[in-house]
Homo-oligomer: A and B are copies of this chain.
Amino acid sequence: MKRTELFTRTEKSIGRDIVSKNAELLTRAGYVDQLMAGVYTYMPLGLRVLRNIENIVRRHMNELGSSEVLMPALHPKAIWETTGGWDNIDVLFKIKSRTNNEYALGQSEEEVVTPLVMNRAPSYKHLPVSVYQIHWKYRDELRAKSGIMRGREFFMKDMYSFHTSQEDFDRYYQLVKNDYLNIFAELGLTAKVTEASGGSFSEKVSYEFEVLTDAGEDVVYYCEACDFCVEDEIAKVKPGDDCPRCGKGVLKEAKSAEVGNVFDLGQKYGKDFDLGYIDEHGKKQFPIMGCYGIGISRVMGVIAEKYHDEKGLVWPESVAPYRYHIVMLPDEQNRAAAQKVYDALGADNCLWDDRDEVSAGERFADADLMGCPVQIVVSRKTLEEGSVEVVSRSGKFDKFMCKLDELNMIVERSQS
């Protein structure tokens, strides 16, 4: 994409107070625009990042064998009354139509997915079933001060599984857990798994996937020697204790952000809707259900929190809006060379700063702020030697010169 085709702009600073680093950087770099607290527009580059995260998550869910569906956000009141959520879930947005029908806005979809699946699974032979969706959700948050990490409107992958036994749920949970850790690793995040209370969803335990970051709203105690991690709220240990799992490490305290969760829902929803299946012995049973979330817009915020420096964003390659940022210094001759680079690397892989009348300093500052992994500097000085300069935004590789007739080298050397 050419920069002149972007209607967005970058900003040196934000006029109003923005308390969270992710909102500040994403706004300054032109990735998002706040409409109100906890509600953001995703601008062209921000939307590319969001879609990259979405597509990584989708690929993993499909590999797990889960079926993608898309459930409504507008729910009839009746299904929320059936489960007790209408009166008990304080973040549920409620709507009254002009004909006095009442609706809820989806903040989780057990109320929709339970009838959807169980009406099609009359027998144990139809189970297990796993379905997921990637959709916008709504929460009536009292405070929404963590940028896109806590939205009143947020983008989420939620998967639901239905099993004939606790053992089968446990088996599936292990698959999902491994998959989640792989997903977060692919997104550049190291997630720790904690056990926590199930909140309003369940009397059973939940599992939370936490990324250590000062921007997080949770506090965990974790072992530096093994993968033990627990939320402070339910911890029977304290910082400084020996690790109860490995016995070798000492527990440390850290702030963390929840990027994923798993709820063992037990039989609650099948029982609430009186929707069961017939088992091998001809007897009606209720399914054991699991719910598995990944906050996609939140993950984008967490990545921004983890991957930035004083100059701006430093996107991991897996989610970067563009792999290459062509920093063309002002000069007509440079334009022809930049065009050559753009054509060689592909318009879908490059952000080309093709603006006139912008200083070199401003171009470099923008490239650093926007954070594409590889910067390609097109300047008269190096063109005299037939070359462009290739710079890693993260410092992953040493900068190098690349001849204009050997541009494939950029692709190869910047990956190593």
Task: Judge whether A255 is part of the interface by a CB distance below 8 angstroms.
Answer: no
Task: Judge whether A330 is part of the interface by a CB distance below 8 angstroms.
Answer: no
| Contact (A69, B97) CB under 8 Å given A7-B120, A7-B129, A35-B76 | no
Contact present for A67 and B7 (CB under 8 Å): yes
Task: Judge whether A40 is part of the interface by a CB distance below 8 angstroms.
Answer: yes
Q: CA separation between A264 and B46, bound complex, in Å?
A: 29
Write out the residue numbers on chain B whose beta carbons fall within 8 Å of the beta carbon of A33: 116
Which residue from chain B places its CB closest to the CB of A75 in the assembled complex? B35
Most B Cβ at <10 Å: residue of A73, A74, A112, A117: A74
A334 to B: closest C-beta gap in Å: 22
Write out the residue numbers on chain B whose beta carbons fall within 8 Å of the beta carbon of A7: 67, 117, 120-121, 126, 129, 131
Write out the residue numbers on chain B whose beta carbons fall within 8 Å of the beta carbon of A41: 69-72, 112, 116
Write out the residue numbers on chain B whose beta carbons fall within 8 Å of the beta carbon of A6: 67
Q: CA separation between A73 and B39, bound complex, in Å?
A: 9
Write out the residue numbers on chain B whose beta carbons fall within 8 Å of the beta carbon of A96: 94
A306 to B: closest C-beta gap in Å: 23
Write out the residue numbers on chain B whose beta carbons fall within 8 Å of the beta carbon of A69: 41-44, 47
Contact present for A65 and B152 (CB under 8 Å): no
Q: CA separation between A43 and B70, bound complex, in Å?
A: 7
Task: Judge whether A93 is part of the interface by a CB distance below 8 angstroms.
Answer: yes
Task: Judge whether A234 is part of the interface by a CB distance below 8 angstroms.
Answer: no
A144 to B: closest C-beta gap in Å: 11
Write out the residue numbers on chain B whose beta carbons fall within 8 Å of the beta carbon of A67: 5-7, 44
A273 to B: closest C-beta gap in Å: 13
Which residue from chain B places its CB closest to the CB of A70 in the assembled complex? B42
Q: Residues 102-135 of chain A: 1 if any B CB is under 8 Å from the residue's CB, otherwise 0?
A: 0001000000100011001100001001010000
Contact present for A153 and B35 (CB under 8 Å): no
Contact present for A95 and B99 (CB under 8 Å): no
A250 to B: closest C-beta gap in Å: 42
**Taking the full assembly, how many copies of this chain does it contain?**
2
Q: CA separation between A9 and B142, bound complex, in Å?
A: 42
A155 to B: closest C-beta gap in Å: 9
Which residue from chain B places its CB closest to the CB of A72 in the assembled complex? B39
Task: Judge whether A68 is part of the interface by a CB distance below 8 angstroms.
Answer: yes
Task: Judge whether A50 is part of the interface by a CB distance below 8 angstroms.
Answer: yes
Which residue from chain B places its CB closest to the CB of A74 in the assembled complex? B153
Which residue from chain B places its CB closest to the CB of A43 in the assembled complex? B69
| Contact (A35, B72) CB under 8 Å given A94-B95, A97-B140, A116-B41 | yes
A121 to B: closest C-beta gap in Å: 7
Task: Judge whether A172 is part of the interface by a CB distance below 8 angstroms.
Answer: no
Contact present for A99 and B142 (CB under 8 Å): yes
A72 to B: closest C-beta gap in Å: 5
Task: Judge whether A98 is part of the interface by a CB distance below 8 angstroms.
Answer: yes
Write out the residue numbers on chain B whose beta carbons fall within 8 Å of the beta carbon of A40: 72
Contact present for A70 and B98 (CB under 8 Å): no
Q: Residues 220-264 of chain A: 1 if any B CB is under 8 Å from the residue's CB, otherwise 0?
A: 000000000000000000000000000000000000000000000
Write out the residue numbers on chain B whose beta carbons fall within 8 Å of the beta carbon of A73: 73, 136, 153
A313 to B: closest C-beta gap in Å: 19
Contact present for B42 and A98 (CB under 8 Å): no
* Given A41-B69, A47-B70, 12 new contacts (CB under 8 A): A7-B126, A35-B75, A35-B112, A39-B76, A42-B70, A44-B68, A47-B69, A50-B70, A73-B136, A74-B138, A74-B152, A93-B97
- 5 shortest A-B CB distances, which residue pairs? A42-B70, A39-B72, A7-B129, A74-B153, A36-B76
